[in-house]
Amino acid sequence: MHEHLNIAVFASGKGSNFKAILEAINAGRICNAKIVLVISNNSDAGALVTAREHHIPARHVSRKQFSTDDDFNAKLMSLLVGYRVNFIVLAGYMKKIDSKIVQSYKNRIINIHPALLPKFGGSGMYGIHVHEAVIASKENLSGASVHIVDEEYDRGPVVLQKTVAVDSTDTPESLAAKVLQLEHEIYPEAVRLFAEGRIKVIGKQVSIS
């Protein structure tokens, strides 16, 4: 039996990826996992509304509420420990996770990125900017990537990827919509694999059993 996942979701926006994972759990497509906490830096985040609708503890925690980084990160850690979180899912979370948290949850934090990492990743590559860059570079393929979070933005080893064709008629908005669909497929799939204990991360290598 694999360790039951007590998941904390970090989200800044709509939370459609959070919702896709929650629906997969509630539909029984993901077993051995439970979302026990949702944290957002944005008090208006749709993700907080969805969490509350599903009676999941939802907390607005923002760096602005604290005088120091240490106080902010201590608050995050106290919530994670308090809810016995053993796995973190970043779902459109626009802030960097402090290295102390990354180390406490080594290889237990994942993120979804709307491009085929390592291309079109790193600082500044978020939201519509990613799709603008993909179209500007005349790529004929794009997609979504689930990766392990480490100390550098979008640099952790890739767990799952799915590609989609970039058509000549695509705009950044139409490409974003196609990629978001893929995100909603591969993110729940990645959580399922972790919940089944089928993902091994050794160094920078990910193996799926």
Between the alpha carbon of residue 77 and those of residues 43, 70, 100, 115, the distances in Å are: 19, 10, 9, 30
User: Which SS3 state, helix, strand or coil, does residue 10 take?
Assistant: strand
Stretch of 12-20, 79-87, 167-175, 198-206 contacting ligand GRF, by CB under 6 A = 12-20
Q: Tell me the residue number closest to ligand GRF, measured at CB.
A: 92
User: Which SS3 state, helix, strand or coil, does residue 135 take?
Assistant: helix
Instruction: Rank residues 43 and 68 by Cβ distance to ligand GRF and give the closer one.
Output: 43
Enumerate residues 80-139 that contact ligand GRF by CB under 6 A.
91-92, 112-114
Instruction: Single out the residue of 7, 8, 9, 15 in contact with ligand GRF (rule: CB under 6 A).
Output: 15
What end-to-end distance do the CA atoms of the chain give, in Å? 15
Catalytic residue among 2, 4, 60, 113: 113
Instruction: Rank residues 176 and 199 by Cβ distance to ligand GRF and give the closer one.
Output: 176
Task: Quickly tell me which residue has 């308090």 as its tokens.
Answer: 82
Q: Are 183 and 112 in contact (CB under 8 A)?
A: yes
Residues that bind ligand GRF (CB under 6 A): 11, 13-17, 91-92, 112-114, 180, 183
| Active site (catalytic) residues | 113
